């Protein structure tokens, strides 16, 4: 995998708001990436996950992660867009210090940084992270990455979702597909 400088994280107020947030954020991303006759800007952002946290939507993090020897944080917010305290789509610049960071490592670092941010502010509600994968990723890869996150962050990782970059749709990976992927791995 190549280096990922930018990533997208969707902050959502509650589990109940995830369907609305996915629909509206997906529509926004599809509109943003639509080819217009006069302007077309390429976006290479990687959508890495959804963080469910009622307080995160109101006060989005500006900087996340431990400070490096050079004094920089691992993640820095470069922009955000949202809907009235329901959801907030954040763009992060990631400085992981490697020329070949894969998305799995990026997700792990981001979840760790989000947990550290929460602990620092003493929030008492339980957050949840739902990993988001490219719709073209294979099911075996999606479930392998999700299980790795669940091992590292027990009781924090929700069901994985896929993002279709062209249509903007963000959808849940079905349990049926999970069973299919498991049988492929076993073969």
- The residue extents of the domains of the chain are 6-186
pTM above 0.85, yes or no: no
User: What are 92-127's pLDDT values in tens digits?
Assistant: 877 765 555 678 888 988 888 888 777 545 555 566
Nearest to 115 by CA among 72, 147, 150, 156: 156
pLDDT per residue as tens digits for the range 149-165:
999 998 899 999 998 88
φ, ψ of residue 49 in degrees (nearest 5) = 175, 175
- Cβ count near 183 (within 10 Å): 10
| CA-to-CA separations, 47 to 43, 76, 165, 168, in angstroms, rounded | 11, 15, 9, 11
């Amino acid at each position: 995998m190549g280096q990922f400088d930018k990533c997208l994280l969707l902050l959502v107020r509650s589990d109940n708001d995830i369907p609305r947030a996915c629909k509206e954020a997906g529509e926004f991303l599809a509109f943003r990436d639509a080819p217009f006759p006069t302007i077309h800007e390429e976006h290479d952002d990687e959508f890495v996950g959804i963080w469910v946290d009622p307080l995160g939507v109101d006060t989005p993090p500006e900087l996340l992660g431990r400070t490096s020897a050079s004094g920089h944080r691992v993640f820095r917010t470069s922009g955000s867009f949202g809907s009235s305290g329901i959801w907030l789509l954040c763009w992060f610049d990631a400085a992981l210090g490697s020329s070949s960071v894969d998305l799995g490592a990026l997700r792990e670092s981001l979840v760790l940084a989000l947990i550290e941010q929460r602990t620092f502010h003493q929030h008492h509600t339980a957050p949840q992270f739902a990993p988001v994968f490219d719709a073209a990723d294979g099911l075996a890869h999606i479930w392998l990455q999700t299980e790795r996150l669940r091992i590292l962050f027990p009781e924090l990782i929700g069901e994985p979702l896929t993002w279709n970059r062209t249509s903007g749709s963000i959808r849940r990976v079905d349990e049926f597909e999970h069973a299919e992927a498991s049988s492929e791995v076993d073969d």
